[in-house]
Structure 1
Amino acid sequence: MPRGKRKHPPAGPTPPAPTPGPPGDARPPILGHESVLRRLQTYHRQRWRGGTMLWVGPPAVGKKTLALRFARGYLCEQGTFLGCGTCRACRLIDQGQHPDVLVFTVEPGQNHSIEDVWRFQHQVALKPWHGDVKFFLWDDAERMRQEAANAMLKTLEEPPEDTITILITSQVYRILPTIRSRAQILRFGPVREDVLLSYLMRQGEWTEAEARWVIRWSQGRPGLVLQPRSFWEFHKRLRRAVLDWFQQWLPQPQEAWWRYMEMDLRPLTGLAQEVFRITGGIYTADGWVWNRWWVQQVVLHGLMILRDLYWLRLGLRHLIVNVDVVGTLERMAAWVEPAWVEGRIEAWLSFLHDMAVYHFGGAWQVPGRLTTA
């Protein structure tokens, strides 16, 4: 293969989209991503190898989960696409113990180091232990030191024929252009609401309104949608407290809101302590101490409620997130004007910016400036 060129899989007809998961597989199904699955099935059928893939998409949409399933399919003793889930090779991969699947991860605030790349290069030079191919998965590949990325480039230029390297990222612009140019790029997006809704309704644990709230609150990301029911009951309880607080203050004169909504968020953030008896955390302007994570959760729920009020005032009911409490929101929307709500959202986003918090559990993106486009 010429130096520095991408290696494309052999040409072949595009097969139909596979089912979400093979029979007997105890792990959660792969939901959505039909076009990506069709492309991966072509790779699997043609036994493509000796190259690099760059998987790009928002956090928690299932990139790492699908990467492990893809590796499982290659090494499955039954030869099943995405793996049978029951053979020894599949079980070893699910347990993170297969010697031919090496996953590189980093802790929050850390980066992949040059030592990680040296380990990668050492393993690349070895032959597979069991099958005919080795997989190397780099999670959060954008979090790589410059010297590490430069060292990795040398291996990616001329990869051995018995390796597949998958770089997983939600920030592709931070990947070196020279690495991007040598990789097959697969793009992931949020999963359609109807796909996730169909799955949740089959589980029999949700009403349709609750399921739509879970999906929209998660922004179509299976990694959040598939959280256990207890996770969502916790957030329902927190949202209920925020809604009650809003209903206490929204009928008041707007002069009162200037104090409570822009200059002083203590009454709202204090809900964390009042409802859940949480202590410790961050300092506010006058020295009060709050738990940083809890402040974030309360303010994010408040932002979602404010955004829903905005859409309701504009007559865009289909855009709201909290569809299971739409009756309450419609009563609240009668108390506010769109321009005023947008001002509050801007103030709260600034508050989150000052906290340097723009994610939820590594997977939540705060909505940007409102638009009806």
Structure 2
Amino acid sequence: MKKHVLFALAALFALFPSYAQKTTQTENVILITFDGLRWQELFKGADSLMVDDTGMIESSGSLLKDFWHPDPIKRREILFPFFWGTIAKEGQLYGNRAYGNLVDNANKMWFSYPGYNEFLSGKADDERINSNDKMNNPNVTLLEHLNRLPAYKGKVMAFGSWDVFPYIINEERSGVPVNAGFDLAEGSDLTEVEKTVNRLQSEIRGPWGGVRLDAFTHSYALEALKKHKPKVLYISYGETDDWAHEGKYDHYLWSARQTDQYIREIWETVQSDPQYKDKTTLIIGVDHGRGITKTSWKSHGQSVPEGGQIWLMAIGPDTPASGEMKTQGQWQSAMVAKTVFQLLGLDYPEADAAPAIKELIK
């Protein structure tokens, strides 16, 4: 009888080797992306070329008190207090090209849909993903792969400001619920917060047709984190890219700093909840870069040489507190997918995906 039990256990571990070999502490993952936030602001703060240019801001001198300091180290701390006050001390930041620490898109499109596909699926697909059209993604994202597993089924959620995310994540096929664009919270058990955000979003449309204000995306995601306790949560904030396309550097900076505060709130919520505290890894990235001149800063894509220059950061129980990474090397956002699976003690099901970020896991 004992031999039969041992044989059955051996067979079980053979079927699920990842669970048997799990050595990480991460049980939950939160993925967050900024749309089009440059590495220059992340690592150097407000850009001296634009911070007081009347062509880029509404009122001359209006940003200097809030964002300017001659020391770029101080400037970046002013712009991103959570990133540099917490993640830089307890996690890792990749992408400061001044040190040869390079993070780039694997795709060569350098705009949103290809960038998000790469971040979520683990590989570029320039042949099929070469526009921002509302086309269901033929690739399976890491969210969908996880949602197929019994341990994560129904515990994966996504929120985005851009109304193309249901297609990028392929909500129809994946079964991952996606609240994006001007979607409202749904269900018979809405909280008072969700009811209020639904009403406000219906009344305050914002300046763009396909992108809602990030305050609504954040509010829905934060309430879902508290209410549904997902094991895997993806949030995409979109305002920075849209303000940049309009050439409004002041709004770009305000939005960037506000998003830093949104992410602080997500992290503090996680660390105050026993289900998540010290068992959750937060990974933050961006879909693409943008130009470096007053004209090209507004744009990205193949015509902008810097459009594929991006960054990544992470904090969690399995990530060494290395801070700002200064080692020379090349990383890509495509590496996120396998990294997430390794953190969860799982094997990524697609062999051709980019390798995991080995420095990010102890």
Q: What range is the shorter-chain TM-score in? A: under 0.3
TM-score scaled by length of structure 1: 0.24
Instruction: Select the structure that is richer in strand.
Output: 2
- Max Rg structure: 1
Structure with bigger RCO (C-alpha 8 Å, 6+ apart)? 2
TM-score scaled by length of structure 2: 0.25
Instruction: Select the structure that is richer in helix.
Output: 1
